Structure formats: C-alpha cells, structure tokens
Structure 1
C-alpha cells in the first residue's frame, strides 16, 4: 500500500524500561541493530499496526505497555534505487512512519522474539536512549534521530532510589545493558549481503529480486 507520493505507511516503536533505556533488537542473522518497525495494513490505524507489530516482533501485548507519546506527523526516508526492484522504481520511494514511545509495564520475561513463525530479531538488549546510530543502516539514521529527538521530551523521570541502585548498580553504562538470546557482538556494521536483506524497507512485491 503506497500513498500518492510513493511512500509505504509504516510504524516505528521506541520501547522504554524503567530506567529509560530502549529495546534494541538484533536483526535475524545479521550484525545490525534497530527498533521494531513494520508496515500499516489496509484498514489499520497507526496504533493498531503498532500493537500488531509489537506482538509479532517482540511478543508483547497491549497490557504489557503504556503509550507515552507519538510523533505528530509522518517521518519519511527514501530507499536507494538499488534496493528496489527495477519495475517498481519511479513510483516506490520509501517509508513514511509514525513513531510511538512506549513504556514497558510488564517484565523482561514477557518478551518473546519467537511469537510468530517469521521472527525479525534473534537477540535484544536494553541500550541507553541515545542509541549508536552508526549501527543503523545509513538511509534510516536521520529518521531515527528525528524520532528520538521529538519524543525525548516525553521521557518519564527516572526514580534513582530504586532497588537496582540500592543493589549497587550504576545508573548508566554497560552494567545496565543485557544481551538476550545469545547474540555475541554488538554494532559490527553491515556487509553488502546484509544490506540487501531489507524486508523492512521494501514491501515484498517491490523488493529487488
């Protein structure tokens, strides 16, 4: 489903824990990391699509999260031509996204990357809010920066007198970052073959063969 300008409607999700760290997912069989995102189906509202993608990619349900904010308008990025099937070039441009800021009200153990038969991630971790954009594919970095900047004003205040700090953990740094599902490296960049695996960026009928 494309709009008149050639952009596919899409949602992005920034999921926070109690320390305002964000869910950072490692894409299946790659070394690239990103936020959950996915297309809006015909007849869906952005919020409906967000909850569907949240379950499909992270395994969470609406009662596991609280919506804190969303971007006011669509944020757009173009997909380079060499990632688009030749017969789609000229009318498919890329994605337009509404981004949601969510707070996890459930537990880490509620996460399930295998909630469907088509998982998007094979590992995840909590990362500081200003994620390292150098591990995000280049043409999406500006949108990530815009979404993080716009939604930062809605970050909840962190209670620094919580049980984690009483237990001697610092409030920032790698001590709070936990990698799940066996991923062994972080942010190693993307090879040419990994860049070609962009099912998030182009609908299946538009992707280059």
Structure 2
C-alpha cells in the first residue's frame, strides 16, 4: 500500500532477548544488516502485518514473542534516488513504518530464517541495543535512532539510558549460526 505521498506502509520489528540485546539480521546474499521489516498488505492491520512478517523473515510465531511497545507514530525514510523505481506505478519514494518492540519468550532455537521457504536473511546475531544505529544503511539511520530512543526504557527493563546522539557504546556482536 503506497500512500498519496509515495510512502509504502511497512512494519519494523525489534526483537530483544532478556539481556537487552536485539536481533540483527543480514539480508540474504548481501553485506547489509537490519531489523526485520515488511510491507502492510491491503486490509491488514500493522499488528497483523507484524506477525506475518515475523514468521516470514525469522520463523517466529505469536506464541514465541510478547509485544512490549508500539511506536507512537509512523516513522518515514526516503529511499536514495538510485533505489526508486520510476517505472512502477504508483512510484514508491520511501517507507512509512509502524514499529514493534518484541520480547523473545520462546526458545532462541525457534528462530528459523528459512521457515517461509523464501529467506530474506541468511544470518543473524544478538547485538547491543545501540549497535544498529551505526551499522544500518545511512538512509534508515534516523528512523532507527528515533525508534530506539522511543523504546529505550521499555527495552532495557526500566534502566535509564542516554538517548542516542553519537557513537553507541560497546557492541561487538555475538555471532549466531546461519540457516541454510
């Protein structure tokens, strides 16, 4: 669904573990890493889209997670001009995203990047909470900063955290196995 301004409705998913780390996934066959995300289909609510994308992208089901927070508003980013497909109608110039913060309640072994048969990711790992802000592609960085700031207190179990402005502290990722 693309709105009148050219932004595609989309959901973003931040999955955290009990240590306050977040799931960071590598795009299939690429070197870019990001949070799971995906489009909202016609007639689908953002929450319905989130559960569908959660399974399609990381193999988790509703019973494997608990919703901790939802973003207050839609957050937008523009695609770089080289990624805008001018020949498609309507033209999509970016994404508007409703974000969800989820707590993994099921076993980590339930994460299955190939569950849908069409994997979007080929590797994943747990990283420190602020690590993604510096590592995501530049055009998504401001949205990541905003949503992580919004979710900070909830994600870190009420611990105070300074809103991200510059370089995040720590953050050597912990490697996880690939799904093949």
Task: Please name the residue that 1:207 is paired with.
Answer: none
Deviations 1:161-180 (CA, angstroms, capped at 9, x unpaired): xxxxxxxxxxx865x82322
Deviation at 1:157, TM superposition (A): 2.8
Larger Rg: 1
8 Å Cα contact 2:14-2:22 kept in structure 1: yes
Task: Please name the residue that 1:199 is paired with.
Answer: none
- Structure 2 counterparts to residues 38-187 of structure 1, below 5 A: 38-88=38-88, 91-157=91-157, 174=172, 177-181=174-178
| SS of match in other structure, 1:180 | coil
Count of aligned residue pairs for this structure pair: 168
- TM-score where L is the length of structure 1: 0.75
| SS of match in other structure, 2:87 | helix
Distance 1:86 1:66, change over 3 A: same
| SS of match in other structure, 1:86 | coil
Distance 1:52 1:108, change over 3 A: same
Distance 1:61 1:85, change over 3 A: same
Distance 1:38 1:173, change over 3 A: closer
Whole-Å Cα distance in 2 between the matches of residues 80 and 89 of structure 1? 18
- TM-score where L is the length of structure 2: 0.86
Please, which runs of 5 or more residues in structure 2 have no aligned partner? Answer: 159-169
8 Å Cα contact 2:9-2:97 kept in structure 1: yes
8 Å Cα contact 1:10-1:37 kept in structure 2: yes
| SS of match in other structure, 2:144 | helix
| SS of match in other structure, 2:9 | strand
Deviation at 1:88, TM superposition (A): 4.1
Whole-Å Cα distance in 2 between the matches of residues 45 and 173 of structure 1? 34
8 Å Cα contact 1:81-1:89 kept in structure 2: no
Whole-Å Cα distance in 2 between the matches of residues 119 and 178 of structure 1? 19
Whole-Å Cα distance in 1 between the matches of residues 171 and 151 of structure 2? 22
Deviation at 1:80, TM superposition (A): 1.8
8 Å Cα contact 1:8-1:39 kept in structure 2: yes
Instruction: Single out whichever of 25-34 and 69-78 deviates more from structure 2.
Output: 25-34
Task: Please name the residue that 1:31 is paired with.
Answer: 31
Deviation at 1:60, TM superposition (A): 0.4
Deviation at 1:31, TM superposition (A): 1.4
